[in-house]
Amino acid sequence: MIVAFSILLPFIAAACIPFIYRRFKNIHLGWFVLVVPALLFTVLATYIPRIANGETFSKTFEWIPSFGINITTYLDGLSIIFSLLITGVGSLVILYSIFYLSTKESLHHFYCYLLLFMGAMLGVVLSDNLMVLYVFWELTSVSSFLLIAFWHHRKASRAGARKAMLITVSGGVAMLAGFLMLYVVSGTFSIREIIANLDIVQSSNLFIPAMCLVLLGAFTKSAQFPFHIWLPDAMEAPTPVSAYLHSATMVKAGIYLVARMTPIFGGHEVWFWAVSGVGIVTLFWGSFNAVRQFDLKALLAYSTISQLGLIMSLFGLGSAALHLGYSTQSVIYTQATFAALFHLINHSTFKGALFMMVGIVDHEVGTRDIRRLGGLMSLMPFTFTIAVIGSFSMAGLPPFNGFLSKEMFFMATVKITQLDIFSLDSVGLLFPIVAWIASVFTFIYCVIIVMRTFFGKIQPDRLEKPPHEAPIGMLIPPYILIGLVVGIFMFPNILGHYILRPAMASIYPTFPSTDEMTPHISAWHGYINTELIMTIGVVIVGVFLYRTLKKWRPMYQIFPQKYSFNSIYERVISSSEYRSDQVTKRYMNGNLTYYFIYIYVFFVVVLAGYMVYADVFSWDPSKDSVIEPYELILVFVMIFATLAILFAKQRITIVLLNGVLGYSVAFFFVVFRAPDLALTQLVVESITTALFLLSFKFLPKLTKEKVSKTFKFTKITISIAVGATVTFIGLAVMNYDEFEPISAYFEDSYNLAGGKNIVNTILGDFRAFDTMLEVVVLFIAGLGVYTLIKLKAKKGDADVESK
Amino acid sequence: MESLMIVLVGILVAVATYLVLSRSVLRVIMGTAILSHAVHLLLLTVGGLKKGSVPILGQAAAPYTDALPQALILTAIVISFAVTAFLLVLAYRMYLMNGSDDFQELGGSPDE
């Protein structure tokens, strides 16, 4: 119940914001908002002891029970980690934003979006139902879109928001397809029930497609290679948003999804390689590109990408244990997952602090460009402390928590090379090598953050404001975070025991004991092991490369900007826009004749094509009635008249020839025993001809059509094809007499309707509805004619009549 | 006779199609008029020709010609008349407003 309430509370609060904003104009809105995450954090934290004992909490509220879509909240070890991160970092970020954003900004929008996001994010991590998870997932995309474009008067903000939206929503829709496949296979949307029926799911043909689609959703959301391009552009958002969404919470939704889905897909080779492979590539690519950035926020964005790749690859490596099944040997590989969860928390602490640090620098100095910064150490000592602790934790140095998780990461990559499944024995060595290289780059950019911002010479003339220390309120939240950075290093096992251990049970539900999977984290193992040597190597090589940065920096120019993923994305977008425009312009040319041609060609192709395909053409003249000579004459008159219309030069000829046609049709009606039709046809044809003649003087002169020979040829071909199709269908239909006609019934009209004229009884009695509506048609046409003639153009419109 | 009638219908349809594909409004309207003639004849033909006497009781002995297609055609004649009249006035009005009866000239501007 309380869990459902914690999802709902942010939404309720968001709805209340406009009222509070109007009521309390002179108090910063953030103070009211701060209550929400702080309260939720406290409430959720009370669950920790019970969850550490292995309890889980779930509650179902019916939503669309007929489709199996119910709002099922589920709180276990994995979701509590995320919900504590969301509410905890959320509180700090809101506290920070109170000092970061002035009351001149449209704060009610900002906090409304932020609360929406928070609620959606809590919904993602606390939902057991896949459909509900998807709903909240898209809500995070939408609220993130709104937050990125918070300063919507800037072009870059709008572009960044659009890009993030497009990429994450595309992935979200792919994920939805994956979820539906899971539902088709398992018959349930509940994640726990799917895990319970795992054999059915794994033996299905849809297993691999569902896995790939779900992964696509996770990779786009978590900015994995090559979908990482939206994250650096999303840095146009206000810094609190970057700190919250794009480092601690939203980008981890994909990680959460991977962790949540590991019990379902984890044992499979494709999953292992996709998750760990993409993760390790992202790790390298992000760290490699972070070094070349000049904007501190862009640098942090790439570092986030890289760290997310690290976590992702660890989840992939950890899934190997599921393939092996439970044994004392395989438990070693679960420690990769443990490391992933551990680093997840560590990353949220130090990256949140670093973003806040950048925000302070930006706020107090007016720029984030490292080429203009420098020498701020003595002026902003507190900010400097944050930067040092955050960066060195990110680089993986003691005595900070990043060191512990980095060591565990190295250990996992080294251990994985000893496996001989999934052809790891041949290529498995790449994992520790790439991880090590990426760590070197990580070290370099971490040093860049500290050295370029706080050391060296200050350049006051290139700064927009005179630098000074930030207000205390802005410093409190990052200090809490770096306090955690150091605190987790000192007492990592509290975290490991109480929070990470139950989460391991969620990821490995089939494994009997979680105690074995929870290693004792220690900073110093008492001996020199491989990981420590690797870390020392990172530091030595990193320092060397940082010193020589100027020499090898031009290396980045080798890869031309033209082939970056960003420009490929831009080109794909603009070229598809251009192409679709071209295609549309090509066939939608606004010329009626062309549209008629499309329709006729479609008609001929479908009908004639079907006749040829099904071979239904048949012609049997034996049942035909005899041809009398006068009928033959009538037929030839009609053929002559129609063909003559084509060659008529004057409109009067056409009108008269049409009259000839009409009267011939009337004669046919006489010949074929239809007196009513003959009468009507004669009258109607007379009136039509009279109408044509009446309007004769107002209508344009018939001009000779100036068309090219080929176009004329096309027209002739199409006309003949249409005529032939109709003829052949008609001939084929003539031979079809499967059923008796129902006219025998109408022949009893005298008894049934009291009339002797069968046609008239049908019109007036048996099928009088047709007649009534036909009268309506005539009436409407009369009204239309009247209005068209009588009503003049409105004032201001061009009126040709008066000219 | 039926086969001959259907061939005639085919020719009418072909000419109507050719006229509908032309550029001037008047020809298009004429094409629709011819098309409706063709359809009426087709309806009558597929109902069967000369299989009986005029469908009026007491005037002649059974069997009668099928009366249902005749009723349908009668409805169709009136409707097509209404539509033709409306189209004609529409063409008149269009010519007044735009000063042209050429679809090519009346077509949407290429930049839209």
In one-letter notation, the amino acid at residue A673 is R
pLDDT of residue A803: 41
The 3-state DSSP class for residue A63 equals strand
Interatomic CA distance for residues A287 and A437, integer angstroms: 9
* Cα–Cα nearest to A635, from A596, A667, A603: A667
The 3-state DSSP class for residue A379 equals coil
- In A8-23, which positions are buried (b, 16+ CB within 10 angstroms) versus exposed (e)? ebbbebbeebeebbee
Which chain B residue shows the shortest CA-CA distance from A735?
B46
Q: What is the largest CA-CA distance in chain B?
A: 68
In one-letter notation, the amino acid at residue A454 is F
CA A220 to chain centre: 9
Which chain A residue shows the shortest CA-CA distance from B50?
A672
Q: Nearest C-alpha of chain B: how many angstroms from A727?
A: 5
Interatomic CA distance for residues B50 and A672, integer angstroms: 6
Determine whether the interchain pair B97/A793 forms a contact, defined as Cβ–Cβ distance below 8 Å. yes
**Residue A89 CB partners (closer than 8 Å, separation 6+):** A243, A244, A248, A249, A348, A352, A481
The 3-state DSSP class for residue A627 equals coil
pTM above 0.80? yes
Contacts of A793 in chain B (CB under 8 A): 97
DSSP result, A540-551 = HHHHHHHHTHHH
Q: Does A627 touch chain B (CB under 8 A)?
A: yes
Counting every residue, how long is chain A?
Answer: 803
pLDDT of residue A523: 62
* C-alpha triplet A454, A458, A459: angle, nearest 5°: 135
**Residue showing tokens 């395909």:** A613
* Cα–Cα nearest to A321, from A389, A260, A262, A242: A262
Determine whether the interchain pair A730/B42 forms a contact, defined as Cβ–Cβ distance below 8 Å. yes
Q: Which two tokens stand for residue A580?
A: 């679709």
Determine whether the interchain pair B11/A639 forms a contact, defined as Cβ–Cβ distance below 8 Å. yes
Q: Does A661 touch chain B (CB under 8 A)?
A: yes
pLDDT in tens, B68-86: 889 999 999 999 999 988 9
Residue B106 has pLDDT above 90, yes or no: no
Determine whether the interchain pair B88/A695 forms a contact, defined as Cβ–Cβ distance below 8 Å. yes
> A 58-117 residues with CB below 8 A of B?
none
Alpha-carbon separation of residue A563 from A163, A219, A560 (angstroms): 18, 21, 6
**Residue showing tokens 């004639």:** A608
pLDDT in tens, A356-408: 999 988 888 888 888 888 788 888 888 888 889 999 999 888 788 888 888 88
The 3-state DSSP class for residue A774 equals helix
The 3-state DSSP class for residue A747 equals coil
Q: Contact, A507 vs A262, CB < 8 A? A: yes
Contacts of B11 in chain A (CB under 8 A): 639, 642-643, 723
Alpha-carbon separation of residue B91 from A121, A688, A787, B28, B80 (angstroms): 61, 15, 14, 10, 16
Contacts of B51 in chain A (CB under 8 A): 625
Interatomic CA distance for residues A315 and A271, integer angstroms: 10
Mean pLDDT score across all residues of chain B: 84
- The DSSP code for A561 is G
The 3-state DSSP class for residue A54 equals coil
Interatomic CA distance for residues A532 and A519, integer angstroms: 17
Closest Cβ opposite residue B56 in set A669, A723, A756: A756
Alpha-carbon separation of residue A11 from A2, A102, A139 (angstroms): 15, 24, 11
- Long-range contacts made by residues A749-754, C-beta under 8 angstroms, separation at least 24? A749/B57, A750/B57
Interatomic CA distance for residues A448 and A463, integer angstroms: 19
Cα torsion at A258, A263, A265, A269 (round to 10°)?
100
Q: Contact, A235 vs A242, CB < 8 A? A: yes
pLDDT of residue B112: 36
Handedness of CA A637, A642, A648, A652 (dihedral sign): positive
Interatomic CA distance for residues A556 and A296, integer angstroms: 18
Interatomic CA distance for residues A557 and A292, integer angstroms: 10
Contacts of B42 in chain A (CB under 8 A): 726, 730
Alpha-carbon separation of residue A215 from A134, A227, A312 (angstroms): 14, 12, 11
**Residue A759 CB partners (closer than 8 Å, separation 6+):** A674, A676, A677, B55, B67, B70, B71, B74
DSSP result, chain B = -HHHHHHHHHHHHHHHHHHHTSSBHHHHHHHHHHHHHHHHHHHHHHT-SSSSB-SBBTTBPSPBPPSHHHHHHHHHHHHHHHHHHHHHHHHHHHHHHHS--BHHHHSPPTT-
Contacts of B84 in chain A (CB under 8 A): 688, 691
pLDDT of residue A697: 75
Output Rg (C-alpha) for chain A, integer angstroms.
Answer: 38
In one-letter notation, the amino acid at residue A49 is P
Interatomic CA distance for residues B12 and A7, integer angstroms: 71
Determine whether the interchain pair B1/A624 forms a contact, defined as Cβ–Cβ distance below 8 Å. yes
Interatomic CA distance for residues A279 and A288, integer angstroms: 14
Determine whether the interchain pair B44/A662 forms a contact, defined as Cβ–Cβ distance below 8 Å. no
Contacts of B65 in chain A (CB under 8 A): 672-674
Contacts of A680 in chain B (CB under 8 A): 74, 77-78
| pLDDT under 70: residue ranges of chain A | 422, 522-526, 559-563, 700, 702-706, 792-803
Tell me how many residue pairs between chain A and chain B have CB atoms under 8 A apart. 275
The 3-state DSSP class for residue A754 equals coil
* C-alpha triplet A720, A726, A729: angle, nearest 5°: 135
Determine whether the interchain pair A726/B107 forms a contact, defined as Cβ–Cβ distance below 8 Å. no
Q: Contact, A672 vs B43, CB < 8 A? A: no
Q: Contact, A403 vs A535, CB < 8 A? A: yes
Which phi and psi (to 5°) does residue A58 adopt? -140, 150
Instruction: Work out the angle between the directed axes of helices A430-454 and A381-395 (0-180°, nearest 10).
Output: 170
Neighbours of A324 (CB within 10 A): 16
Q: Which two tokens stand for residue A145?
A: 């879109």
In one-letter notation, the amino acid at residue A292 is R
Q: Which two tokens stand for residue A15?
A: 């709805």
Contacts of B5 in chain A (CB under 8 A): 635
The 3-state DSSP class for residue A674 equals coil
Determine whether the interchain pair B73/A677 forms a contact, defined as Cβ–Cβ distance below 8 Å. yes
Which chain A residue shows the shortest CA-CA distance from B41?
A665
Contacts of A658 in chain B (CB under 8 A): 30, 33-34
Which chain B residue shows the shortest CA-CA distance from A724?
B10
**Residue A267 CB partners (closer than 8 Å, separation 6+):** A202, A319, A322, A323
* Cα–Cα nearest to A139, from A108, A159, A162, A118: A118
- The DSSP code for A372 is T
* Cα–Cα nearest to B91, from B26, B42, B43: B26
**Residue B61 CB partners (closer than 8 Å, separation 6+):** B53
Tell which of A601, A670, A673, A789 to mutate to test the B interface (max B CBs under 10 Å).
A673
Closest Cβ opposite residue B24 in set A639, A703, A741: A703
Q: How many CA atoms lie within 13 A of A664 on its CB side?
A: 27
Determine whether the interchain pair A631/B1 forms a contact, defined as Cβ–Cβ distance below 8 Å. yes
In one-letter notation, the amino acid at residue A387 is A
Interatomic CA distance for residues A271 and A277, integer angstroms: 9
Tell which of B4, B89, B100, B109 to mutate to test the A interface (max A CBs under 10 Å).
B89
In one-letter notation, the amino acid at residue A708 is S
The 3-state DSSP class for residue A672 equals coil
DSSP result, A117-186 = HHHHHHHHHHB-BHHHHHHHHHHHHHHHHHHHTSSTTSHHHHHHHHHHHHHHHHHHHHHHHHHHHHHHHH
Closest Cβ opposite residue A624 in set B2, B34, B85: B2
* Cα–Cα nearest to A484, from A350, A359, A383: A350
Determine whether the interchain pair B85/A691 forms a contact, defined as Cβ–Cβ distance below 8 Å. yes
Q: Which residues pair with A61 in a beta bridge?
A: A71
Closest Cβ opposite residue A591 in set B37, B67, B104: B104
